[in-house]
Chain A
Amino acid sequence: MTILDIERRPEVAAASEASRRRLDEIWKTPPGIAGFLSTVDHKQIGIRYIITAFAFLILGGIEALIMRVQLGRPEQQLLTPEQYDQLFSTHGMTMIFLYALPVLSGFSNYLWPLLLGARDMAFPRLNAFSYWIYVAAGIFMYAGFAIGAGPNDGWFNYVPYASRQFNPGMNMDFYALGMIFLGISTSAGAANFIVTVFRTRAPGMSINRLPIMIWGTLTASAANLLVVPAVSLAFFLLWMDRQFGTHFFDVSQGGQPLLWQHLFWIFGHPWVYAIVLPAMGMVSDGLPVFCRRPLVGYTPVALSTVATMVLGFGVWVHHMFATGMPNLALSFFSGASIVIAVPSAVAVFAWLATIWSGRPVVTTAFLFFASMIVLFVIGGVSGFMTGSVPVDWQLTDTYFVVAHLHYVLIGINLFPVAGAIYYWFPKFTGRMLDEELGRWNFWTMFIGFNIAFLPMHLTGLWGMPRRVYTYPDGMGWDWLNLITSVGSFLFAFGILLLLINVVKSRRDGRLAGPNPWDASTLEWSVPSPPPPYNFAVIPHIVSRHPLWEQQLQESDARSSLDTGYLLDHGRETIATTSLDSDIDLILKMPEDSYAPFLLTVAVSALFVGLLLHWWWLAAVGGFATVGAIMIWLWPERDLGQTADAGHG
Chain B
Amino acid sequence: MVEVALGRPRVPVGSIRRRGVGWWGVMMLITTEASLFVYLLFSFYYFALQTPGEFLPRHPPSLSLSLPNTAILLLSSFAVWWGDVGVRRGRQRQLVVGLAIALLLGIAFVTIQLFEWRQQSFTLRSSEYGSLFFTITGFHMAHVVAGLLILVSLLVWSALGYFAGRRSAPILIGGVYWHFVDAVWLVVFFTFYLTPYLR
Contact = CB atoms under 8 A, between A and B. Distances in A.
B91 interface: no
Contact of A5 (B4, B8, B13, B35): B13
Interface stretch (A104-112, A222-230, A334-342): A222-230
A17 interface: no
B21 A587 contact: yes
A523 B14 CA distance: 26
Question: Which of B9, B11, B51, B149 is packed against the most chain A CB atoms within 10 Å?
Answer: B11
A266 B24 contact: no
B28 interface: yes
Contacts of B51: 254, 256
Given A195-B25, A247-B127, A588-B14, A556 B4 contact: no
Given A8-B13, A9-B9, A564-B6, A575 B19 contact: yes
Interface residues of A, number: 77
A630 interface: yes
B7 A259 contact: no
Question: Which of B14, B35, B149, B157 is packed against the most chain A CB atoms within 10 Å?
Answer: B14
Interface in A109-126: 122-123, 126
A88 B42 CA distance: 31
Contact of A641 (B31, B128, B167): B167
A443 to B, nearest CB: 43
A635 interface: yes
Contacts of A626: 149
A11 B134 CA distance: 57
Interface in B85-112: none
B67 interface: no
A245 B125 contact: yes
A645 B164 contact: no
A198 B46 CA distance: 36
What is the interface of chain A mostly: helix, strand, loop, or mixed?
A: mixed
Interface residues of B, number: 55
A586 B12 contact: yes
B11 A7 contact: yes
B13 A233 contact: no
A122 B7 contact: no
B21 A575 contact: yes
A187 B32 contact: yes
A262 B131 contact: no
A208 to B, nearest CB: 17
B35 A227 contact: yes
A191 interface: yes
A263 B39 contact: yes
Given A225-B32, A262-B46, A588 B131 contact: no
A587 B31 CA distance: 23
Given A12-B6, A559-B4, A640-B167, A583 B11 contact: yes
B32 A563 contact: no
Contacts of B24: 122, 194-195, 198-199
Contacts of B192: none
B14 A7 contact: no
A560 interface: yes
A390 interface: no
28 contacts: A7-B13, A9-B11, A12-B8, A191-B25, A191-B28, A225-B32, A226-B35, A229-B32, A233-B36, A233-B39, A240-B135, A244-B124, A245-B125, A247-B125, A253-B127, A254-B127, A263-B42, A266-B39, A556-B2, A560-B4, A585-B20, A587-B14, A588-B15, A635-B163, A635-B170, A642-B162, A645-B14, A646-B167
Given A122-B25, A246-B125, A641-B14, 18 more contacts: A7-B10, A123-B21, A203-B6, A229-B35, A230-B35, A232-B36, A244-B125, A245-B124, A246-B124, A259-B43, A560-B3, A635-B157, A641-B15, A641-B170, A642-B162, A642-B163, A643-B161, A645-B14
Interface of A: 4-12, 122-123, 126, 187, 190-191, 194-195, 198-200, 203-204, 225-230, 232-233, 237, 240, 244-248, 253-256, 258-259, 262-263, 266, 540, 542, 556-560, 563-565, 575, 583-588, 626, 630, 633-635, 639-643, 645-648
